[in-house]
């Protein structure tokens, strides 16, 4: 694996277009992050609050799951708690069916279990509806960053990737977005199943909360007959207020000026001729409960700040990683993926501490990576 890792990184270092895209984007995104925190100073306090709420819910995750189940399940709503990625993939395929058309909004847990590759391999027509994820899908790649999947792709490269699909001239980012929107509209209207992620779950109301900036999440979660929400155990919060705060903190620290859409799903419509008839919530463990040595990782809200601050990431982006990349991605890989891969990845960490400084949850990311380097996990 280590030689394979080296080959990937060396390939990235030779790709001038990729390096230019990564450097420019990470610099700009980090600048946006600073501006966003200045505009929303309350987010610093909210981050402290939601970390404490996470701690409480993770003291007994099975109890937290059952508490959420009681408030969530009802007419047309089903919760499936699954221990492994294999179980999750097979259940989702069973719900979807081999001949379905699926529209999918962004989900890091979906990436974690390699859901798109799995479903496509089973003959399912699946379309990523987030623009960045769609670009990654077209090049058969993987997201380089938690929040901005195609952060390493220049505008010129994006145009080249999109042209064979939309078959129209695109002179700027606005025209690219409009053409992809037009292409996707038919997919939304013909899809049998929509797959979305969840940023937070609220025990008191049984609500699913997720955020988007493009509007694709709203269409994915309302037009198809079946909706699958794929998420993980650390997303549970005691109240809807806590869940919304967690979403706002994530967007502020990710550098967005304002969150365009905060979606709250409480159930299926009374009139199922307009909207989904079923909502299946996939609650994934995938070794999160088992791994006490790296438990601090579960406080992560996946804002991507640590990746943007990392000097290695700015050089080689998603090449430094497996599914989860860079900084906090290394302990995430150790928990949810291959521990030997995580250890190989850990050797490239400089232990500079920038990731710890920018993390809204104040996770000791260098300390976690050091544990992995030393094999103490």
**DSSP of 312-349:** HHHHHGGGSBSSSBTTTHHHHHHHHS-HHHHHHHHTT-
Residue 48 host element (H or E):
helix 42-59
Q: What is the pLDDT along the chain (377 residues), one digit of tens a residue?
A: 556 666 766 666 666 655 565 566 666 677 778 888 889 999 999 999 999 999 999 999 999 999 999 999 999 999 999 999 999 999 999 999 877 899 999 899 999 999 999 999 999 999 999 888 989 898 887 777 677 777 667 778 888 888 888 887 788 888 888 888 889 999 999 999 999 999 999 999 999 999 988 888 999 999 999 999 999 999 999 999 999 999 999 999 988 776 678 999 998 887 767 789 999 999 999 999 987 899 999 999 999 889 888 888 877 766 777 788 889 999 999 999 999 989 989 998 999 999 999 999 999 999 999 999 998 77
- What stretch(es) of the chain map to CATH 3.40.50.10420? 60-284
Model pLDDT, residue 199: 95
Model pLDDT, residue 13: 65
For the chain, give percent helix, strand, coil, nearest 5. 55, 15, 30
Our CA angle for 68, 69, 71, nearest 5°, is 65
**Strand arrangement, sheet containing 226-232:** 77-82, 278-284, 226-232, 193-197, 101-104, 125-128
Model pLDDT, residue 11: 66
Give all strands (DSSP E) within 54-117, no chain letters: 77-82, 101-104
Model pLDDT, residue 320: 78
Model pLDDT, residue 142: 79
Model pLDDT, residue 143: 75
- What stretch(es) of the chain map to CATH 1.10.1060? 2-39+291-373
Model pLDDT, residue 17: 59
Write down the pTM of the prediction. Answer: 0.89
Model pLDDT, residue 164: 87
Model pLDDT, residue 307: 87
8 Å CB contact between 229 and 96: no
Got the DSSP string for 28-39?
HHHHHHHHHHHH
DSSP code at position 74: B
Model pLDDT, residue 227: 97
For domain 60-284, give the CATH superfamily: NagB/RpiA/CoA transferase-like (3.40.50.10420)
Q: Which CATH number fits domain 2-39+291-373: 1.10.3470, 2.60.40, 1.10.10, 1.10.1060?
A: 1.10.1060
């Amino acid at each position: 694996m280590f030689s394979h890792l080296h080959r990937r990184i060396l390939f990235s270092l030779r790709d001038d277009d990729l390096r230019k895209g990564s450097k420019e984007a990470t610099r700009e995104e980090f600048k946006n992050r600073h501006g966003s925190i200045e505009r929303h100073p309350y987010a610093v306090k909210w981050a402290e609050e939601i970390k404490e709420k996470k701690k409480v819910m993770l003291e007994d995750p099975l109890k937290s799951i059952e508490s959420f189940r009681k408030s969530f399940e009802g007419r047309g709503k089903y919760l499936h708690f699954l221990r492994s990625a294999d179980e999750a993939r097979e259940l989702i395929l069973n719900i979807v069916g081999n001949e379905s058309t699926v529209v999918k909004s962004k989900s890091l847990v979906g990436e974690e279990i390699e859901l798109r590759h799995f479903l496509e391999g089973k003959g399912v027509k699946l379309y990523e509806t987030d623009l960045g994820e769609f670009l990654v899908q077209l090049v058969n790649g993987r997201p380089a960053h938690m929040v901005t999947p195609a952060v390493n792709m220049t505008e010129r490269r994006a145009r080249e990737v999109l042209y064979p699909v939309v078959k129209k001239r695109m002179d700027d980012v606005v025209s690219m977005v409009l053409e992809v929107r037009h292409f996707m509209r038919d997919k939304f209207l013909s899809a049998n199943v929509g797959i979305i992620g969840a940023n937070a779950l609220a025990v008191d109301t049984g609500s699913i909360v997720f955020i988007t900036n493009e509007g694709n999440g709203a269409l994915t979660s309302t037009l198809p007959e079946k909706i699958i929400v794929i998420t993980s155990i650390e997303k549970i919060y005691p109240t809807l207020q806590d869940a919304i705060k967690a979403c706002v903190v994530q967007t502020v620290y990710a550098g967005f000026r304002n969150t365009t859409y905060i979606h709250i799903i409480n159930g299926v419509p009374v009139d199922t001729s307009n909207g989904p008839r079923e909502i299946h919530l996939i609650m994934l463990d995938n070794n999160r409960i088992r791994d006490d040595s790296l438990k601090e990782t579960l406080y992560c809200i996946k804002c991507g700040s640590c990746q943007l601050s990392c000097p290695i990431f700015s050089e080689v982006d998603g090449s430094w990683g497996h599914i989860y990349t860079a900084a906090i991605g290394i302990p995430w890989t150790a928990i949810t993926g291959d521990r030997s891969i995580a250890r190989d990845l850990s050797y490239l960490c400089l232990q500079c501490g920038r990731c710890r400084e920018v993390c809204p949850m104040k996770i000791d990311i260098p300390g976690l990576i050091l544990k992995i380097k030393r094999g103490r996990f």
